Every structure is written in C-alpha cells, then in structure tokens.
C-alpha cells in the first residue's frame, strides 16, 4: 500500500506524464536526458553540497571525478547483478541510477577539461593507483551495464521517463530548506552521519551525509518509491 507521500509523488509524476506525447521516441528521451533530467540531477547535487564551481582547484575537481567514478561503478555492478538475477524492477532502478550518476560524472569531467594536461597530471600525484584506475574502469563498464539493464526493448522511452521522474522526485526528499525538518532529521540521525548545510543564492539547503565519505544518506522518515513497470 502506498503512503500519502508516495501517492503524492505518483500523482505528480502521472500528471507530468499525461502532458507528454502518447508515444515517446528515442529522440524525445535523449532530449529529456539532456534537459530536465540533467537539470534535476545537477540541482540535487548542488543543494546537497556536491556541485562544482570555478573556485575548485584541479586537485579538488579530480577528487570529485574519482568519488563519482566509484559511485558509477557501484551502480553499474548492481545493474549487472540485477540482469543476472533477472530482476526486472532492479534492472530498471539500476538503469536509471546509472544515468543519474553518469550525468553528474559528466559535469565533473567537463570541469576537469578546463584544466591543462600538465595541471591534471600534477594533480593526479595526490591519488593512489586504484583511485586513478577508476578513470579507466568506468568507460569500460558503462555500456555493458546499460545494455544488460535495458535488455532487448525491456523498457520503452516513456516507461523510462515515468520512472526517472518518480526517482528524481523521490530523491528531492533527501534534502530540505525547512529548518525545523532539518532539526528533526538531526535528532533521529544514524551514528556516523552529520547535517550538511549548503547556501545557494542566500538560501540554506540541508541534507544528511555520511561523515566518512560524504555520501548523501536517507533521513529516518524517507519513503522509498515504488517503480511503475507497466
């Protein structure tokens, strides 16, 4: 049974889907990925303090790239496992998560491209071999993971769009601009986590991060979304 929050998310996304074409083409999906989808992913990361700016040094940007590479690898592996287990729901979830994490990786890579080869080479001296190896692994893992999760026409463009919107809307529950809600999250936070505050244009945004690696965590009242396979 859906909770009130989940019903609100489904209702909102359903209304958005009705405003789209009855049949979405691959071209429509690509336009969505490069437009609203990308903007939502970037907004989420910015409001959770994981964005990139011109103030970042080459070493800092390379650190963002390496961290994001590790997240992409994790999502790719989960997608491949879902394929092996023939788990349709997890394949769809994994497919969307791969695109979400890859979208932010592309943002970081674009920022890294602004530095010279010499600057990147010098910055790379601050990282160990396994960290740098992720730069080679991700390009080799992405295509097999996407193909395995997608299957042979397993999910049409509109189904991908609907479920992407469900996941993106659900992800917005991981941050808030409500100070009182933030205090409630803080009171019920898991050990090893902390509240991260990010100020954008004079407005404060709050999320929970794992202190060890800065991973964005779910609050105690987070409601998982149910994907729509049909």
Largest interatomic CA distance in the chain:
56
* pTM score, whole prediction: 0.85
Choice between 13 and 173, residue whose per-residue pLDDT is larger: 173
Choice between 62 and 22, residue whose per-residue pLDDT is larger: 62
The beta-carbon contacts of 13-18 under 8 Å, at least 24 apart in sequence, are 13/162, 13/165, 13/166, 13/169, 14/162, 16/165, 17/158, 17/161, 17/162, 17/165
> What is the per-residue pLDDT for 152?
87
Instruction: Say if residue 16's pLDDT is above 70.
Output: no
Q: What are phi and psi of 193, to 5 degrees?
A: -120, 165
> What is the per-residue pLDDT for 154?
85
Q: Rounded CA gap, 157 and 55, in Å?
A: 38
Q: What is the mean pLDDT of the chain?
A: 90
Instruction: Say if residue 131's pLDDT is above 90.
Output: yes
Instruction: Say if residue 177's pLDDT is above 90.
Output: yes
The predicted model gives 83-103 an average pLDDT of 96
């Amino acid at each position: 049974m859906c909770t009130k929050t989940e019903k609100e998310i489904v209702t909102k996304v359903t209304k958005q889907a009705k405003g789209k074409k009855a049949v979405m083409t691959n071209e429509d999906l690509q336009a969505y990925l490069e437009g609203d989808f990308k903007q939502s992913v970037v907004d989420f990361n910015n409001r959770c303090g994981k964005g990139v700016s011109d103030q970042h040094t080459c070493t800092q940007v390379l650190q963002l790239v390496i961290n994001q590479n590790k997240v992409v690898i994790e999502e790719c592996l989960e997608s491949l496992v879902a394929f092996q287990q023939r788990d349709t729901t997890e394949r769809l979830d994994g497919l969307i998560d791969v695109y979400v994490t890859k979208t932010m990786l592309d943002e970081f890579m674009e920022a890294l491209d602004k530095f010279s080869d010499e600057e990147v080479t010098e910055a790379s001296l601050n990282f160990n071999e396994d960290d740098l190896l992720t730069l080679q692994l991700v390009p080799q893992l992405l295509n097999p993971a996407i193909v395995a999760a997608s299957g042979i026409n397993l999910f049409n463009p509109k189904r991908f769009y609907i479920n992407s919107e469900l996941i993106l809307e659900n992800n917005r529950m991981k941050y808030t601009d409500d100070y009182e809600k933030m205090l409630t999250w803080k009171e019920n936070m898991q050990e090893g986590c902390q509240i991260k505050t990010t100020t954008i244009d004079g407005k404060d945004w709050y999320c929970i991060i794992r202190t060890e690696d800065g991973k964005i965590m779910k609050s105690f009242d987070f409601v998982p979304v149910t994907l729509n396979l049909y």
